[in-house]
Amino acid sequence: MNYKIHESDITPLTDKGGEVRVLLSPKTVKSTQLIMGVATIPPGEIVKEHLHDYGEECFYVQKGTGKLILRNLDQLNFKAGDALIIPQGTIHSIENIGEEDIEVVFATAPLAPTAREGHRNL
């Protein structure tokens, strides 16, 4: 069983806004309860509205400043050192409002039945 993966081993996803690498997943390490990865969002870019029907998402900001938009709920500015959580089923997006890349570590749990069901774009 593979217990370790390096981010350079993962092809980034670029269709949702920013650059996303899902590091720990059923596909990469046969995880059964969660996914975890890293994302980079350039200045001025927005991660498209989406939701997670099966789990909640959290992320830790390593670098940059941005805005988390929780549709019909709240808008939260964040910066490096902040940790945020998005409740299950909440439509959300992220906007880089700073002058440098945002870099985050994210996780979602529990797992959805499929990757497509786990991250639903709107």
59 pLDDT more than 90:
yes
Per-residue confidence band for 81, with pLDDT thresholds at 50, 70 and 90: very high
| Model pLDDT, residue 22 | 96
Write the CB contacts of 89 (distance below 8 Å, at least 6 apart in sequence). 51, 52, 53
When pLDDT is cut at 50, 70 and 90, the band that residue 86 belongs to is very high
Lowest-pLDDT choice from 21-25, 28-32, 56-60, 116-120? 116-120
Q: How far apart are CA 76 and CA 6, in angstroms?
A: 31
Residue showing tokens 């938009």: 69
Q: Positive or negative, the Cα torsion across 15, 16, 19, 23?
A: negative
Is residue 28 within a helix (H) or strand (E), and if so which, with residue range? Answer: helix 26-29
Q: Is the distance from CB of 55 to CB of 42 less than 8 angstroms?
A: no
Query: CATH number for the 7-121 domain, one of 2.60.120.330, 2.60.120.10, 3.50.50.60, 3.40.250.10?
Result: 2.60.120.10
pLDDT, tens digit, 9 for 90 and up, residues 7-39: 999 999 999 899 999 999 999 999 999 999 999
Residue with tokens 């902040």: 82
